[in-house]
Amino acid sequence: MKPPGPSVSFFFPIVQTVAPIAPVAWIPLAISAAGIGSGAAVLIVVLTIFGSVTASAVAAFDAVPLEYIKVGRLLGAERTRLLWRVVLPAAAPSLMTVARMSFFGAWMAVLAGEMAGINSGLGALIMFGQQQFNMRLVMIGIVTIGLLGFLVDQLLLAFQKRLLWWENRAQKQDLGRAENRF
């Protein structure tokens, strides 16, 4: 691979600096920038996952075996088609993992935001339950958060299986080999 260009060299340290900042640290900034409400929640999610998503996506693209790119170029793929037909499919498994992990990060970030200042949503419901000494309300909030997270992850998993169809076939093949061995 070519060494990173000047724009990557300039922006990547910023991304690496932003990535480890905890969601709660962004809450005051998000509320002062977007006010109390869903705007602030969206901003918190974006600020929280931007760094980690960017860093993970760059790592996923960097991990694409050089041979695939060489083969693609030798077979006549130009820049755009090389990206669409070779680099993206090669990076797709890692990118899907990034998407699923980022969802959990975003989900926790928005709930933290709702609990710590954005007075709406499930996080605020839990805080309201705490203030009212209403454990039933707190439990309803917690279970709903868990179920919604599970549901969205299942949807992402189903999408991943559909998108990465070749991996499912490879896994079946591996299972068949393992069964034959034992």
Partner 1 sequence: MPKIVFNGVTKFYGSSLVVGEVSFAVEDESLTVLVGPSGCGKSTLLGLTAGLDVPSSGSIAIGGRTVNGIGEEVALIFQHNNLFPWATACDNVAFGLEMRGLRRRAARSRARQLLQEVGLESCLEKVPEEMSGGMRQRVALARAVALSHKVILMDEPFT
> CA 114 to CA 37: how far, in whole Å?
9
> CA 29 to CA 45: how far, in whole Å?
12
Task: Tell me the closest approach of the beta carbon of residue 112 to partner 1, in angstroms.
Answer: 37
Judged by CB under 8 A, the number of residues near partner 1 is 24
Q: What residues from 134 to 173 belong to the interface with partner 1 (CB under 8 A)?
A: 164, 166, 169-170, 173
Task: Tell me the closest approach of the beta carbon of residue 92 to partner 1, in angstroms.
Answer: 7
**Token pair belonging to 161:** 């299986």
Q: Does 60 bind partner 1 (CB under 8 A)?
A: no
Task: Tell me the closest approach of the beta carbon of residue 169 to partner 1, in angstroms.
Answer: 5
CB 59 within 8 A of CB 131: no
Judged by CB under 8 A, the residue of 4, 11, 17, 73 near partner 1 is 73
> CA 7 to CA 58: how far, in whole Å?
13
Q: 146: part of which helix (H) or strand (E)?
A: helix 135-163
Interface residue list for partner 1 (CB under 8 A): 65, 67-68, 70-78, 81, 85-86, 89-90, 92, 164, 166, 169-170, 173-174
